[in-house]
Amino acid sequence: KNEVEQSPQNLTAQEGEFITINCSYSVGISALHWLQQHPGGGIVSLFMLSSGKKKHGRLIATINIQEKHSSLHITASHPRDSAVYICAVRLSSASKLTFGTGTRLQVTL
Amino acid sequence: DTAVSQTPKYLVTQMGNDKSIKCEQNLGHDTMYWYKQDSKKFLKIMFSYNNKELIINETVPNRFSPKSPDKAHLNLHINSLELGDSAVYFCASSQGVGSTLTGELFFGEGSRLTVL
């Protein structure tokens, strides 16, 4: 079992819909990252958070340390949001990141 | 101006060959990483260097040898390539490491290696 689980694995939404992607982890962490990988392959870091909530444009990331859970929300989704979204955690005891398997999002017109 | 750049972007080679992938970052970061992304798109850390010093060395065959001539460069050399080495290799950088990590990761565009 992976230490980082994401759900759903695949998600299709219509333009304008509110989207939520979930990430659960089983160990103590010092930080959690949300990454975006477009079909072209490049990876972009969206957020790094260790508590609370962060917002950037239409993207919001929240984390609940006690429940070992984070969510990534996209408001007013757009086809250009279509990508794979990856959750990664930095363990408290280690320097490395452990990655989830990603959520593939397709936003249609 | 590209922050983290990798070369080459595509590499097709025969089994048994030796190849290198180069990575450079112009962000002034002190930590660099190599990640491998397999065919199922799962990312896994291979190596990490902080100020030219190896700090993470995951269970990677010793055919893979990272080299960091300075903190802006981290190259990956692979000897005796095997079919299973086919993957996309991503370089990344950050400022700080572990508990001293102060910012996000910046990734290169990836180097797609195909071993025939």
The mean pLDDT of B74-78, rounded to a whole number, is 96
Best of A29, A43, A101 to disrupt the B interface by mutation (most B CBs within 10 Å)?
A: A43
| pLDDT at residue B78 tops 70 | yes
- pLDDT score recorded for residue A94: 66
Find chain B residues with C-beta within 8 A of A45's C-beta. 104-107
pLDDT band at A92 (very low <50, low <70, confident <90, very high): confident
For residue B45, give the nearest of A41, A44, A97 by CB distance.
A97
Q: What is the DSSP secondary structure assignment for residue B63, as one 8-state letter? A: T
Which residue in B40, B98, B109 is closest to A41 by CB distance?
B109
Closest CA to B114 of B83, B72, B76, B68: B83
- What pLDDT does A28 receive? 85
CB proximity A91 to B under 8 Å: no
B24 pLDDT higher than 70:
yes
Interface list for B 54-73 with A (CB within 8 A): 55-56, 58
What's chain B's average pLDDT?
Answer: 89
Contact A91, A98 (CB under 8 A): yes
In the predicted model, what is the mean pLDDT of residues A94-109?
Answer: 89
Closest CB to B104: pick one of A45, A84, A96. Answer: A45
CA dihedral over B24, B27, B33, B36, signed as positive or negative:
negative
pLDDT tens for A23-78 read: 999 888 888 999 999 887 789 999 999 899 999 999 999 999 999 999 999 999 99
- CA atoms in the 13 A half-sphere facing the CB of B106: 21
